[in-house]
Structure 1
Amino acid sequence: MRHIPLGRYINVKSPIHDLDARAKIIGFIGMAVLSFFCSSPVDFVIFFIYFFTLAYLSNIPVRNYLKSIRSIWLLLFMIFIFQLFFTPGRIIVSLGKINITLEGVAGASIYSARVIGAILFSTLLSYTTRPLSMAKSIEDLMFKLKLPKKLSFDTGLVLSIALRFIPILSQEMEKIILSQKARGADFESKNLFSRIKSSVAVIIPLVVLALRKSEELAVAMDMRYYGRYERVRCSEGKFGLSEKLFSLMSLLIALSIIFS
């Protein structure tokens, strides 16, 4: 099974885990977006040095972050191939009607590095932030932006449920795959139809399981009269020195990349 980092929290003690979730959401998502503005080798060097510094401070092995790239290998492969073979410019290798250009190699490398950077920072946010804290922080940020109260509450609830369901379904999917392998399913077969048949044998039970769990959750929420009374918000703490230093560092990194 492919490694699915979204919604997976690794509970260890580290300075990154102790940061306020709101600061991490703004900082890490901002860095993920900033990755698409990197264009020169200097930009990528600064960007990835900052990431690996944060990854080291998170006390989570770097290999855990690198595993997240495996889940998007097909996307990276397609980006690399399309940029490599379909970008006009100075030809460096000619394979019949297909030409590899210098601009194609540069474009393939840049776009692949951008996607990898965005995935790595998204994984860093997921590994170091509890799903419930992330949902509450997004809800709080929506309140700060003066968005409707009901929209903020509902968005926070949906995100909280989704982030909790992803690792649960991921674990159930692993169990289903092991069960189907015990029954003779071949997920590595070279026969395309055999692999599709094996995949269907996993997808259908997983969809049924997700529907059953969502129905149970809906009944539990209805029994607790959710939505019939106005919810009460707990006040959020203020940013401390660590959050301010983290925000300042992220801002300096962003400015150095944008204006380099």
Structure 2
Amino acid sequence: MESTARGTGTSGLRADCGSCFGLCCVALPFAASADFAVDKDAGTPCTNLNAEFRCTVHTELRRTGFRGCTVYDCFGAGQKVSRHTFGGTDWRTAPESAAAMFAVFPVVRQLHELLWYLTEALTLRPARPLYADLRKLLAETEDLTLLGPGLLVELDVAGHRRRVDELLLRTSELVRTGVRRGRKDRRGADLMGARLRGADLRGVSLRGAYLIAADLTGADLRTADMIGADLRDARLAGADLRDSFFLTQPQLNAAGGDATTRLPATLDRPAHWS
């Protein structure tokens, strides 16, 4: 992982690779492509993972063909599974737990991503009427992350995500009310390669929009709902994302920006940006 979010309430949702057993380097599969130099099956350790669960090419991931690794973020699920769910016993020391650990990791990762959104929603002042519901669902989601391995692998994550998403949609409407000013929402829109240089996208819903390779240079994205927007190779130089919400580090890591790109205070400027 290239960089992580910083912010009040998000400390447990930041990847701490030093407290993890290299789970993203083992549990997840990848295929030889522009993002990965080789094929790797799920449950098979990456050849770059050493005995201390560290990446031997971490500082050269992009140069060595592992661009996908610089985009990925586990939202702190790695250390939760390593240190809480399995009590600090790693999959090498206890190989009998490996399969369960690798199955649980992506489940907890999804739950931690939902925790990120719910935590952020509680910082959005227009969403105050929903704070009680948000706190309740936040606590419930956190409790789910503390379940044992057997219960986690059987968890209906999709069903829980639907409940969270419904509340986040209501949050989005409250935050964007009065900001949209007649601008067309772009939820789920196909904007691949779109020319949006300097576009005024304040208060627009870009939930799930395909912005792959879109030119957003100098665009104003303040108070835009960015949840699930695909920003792979999108050009964000000079764009203003300061008050955009439900934006995550993986989305930024997948995009291209520079020193003039303005970001929310809770997110880091990716190391590979010019």
Q: Is TM (by shorter chain) over 0.5?
A: no
TM-score of the superposed pair, with normalisation by structure 1 = 0.28
- Between Structure 1 and Structure 2, the one with more helix by share is 1
Q: Rg larger in 1 or in 2? A: 1
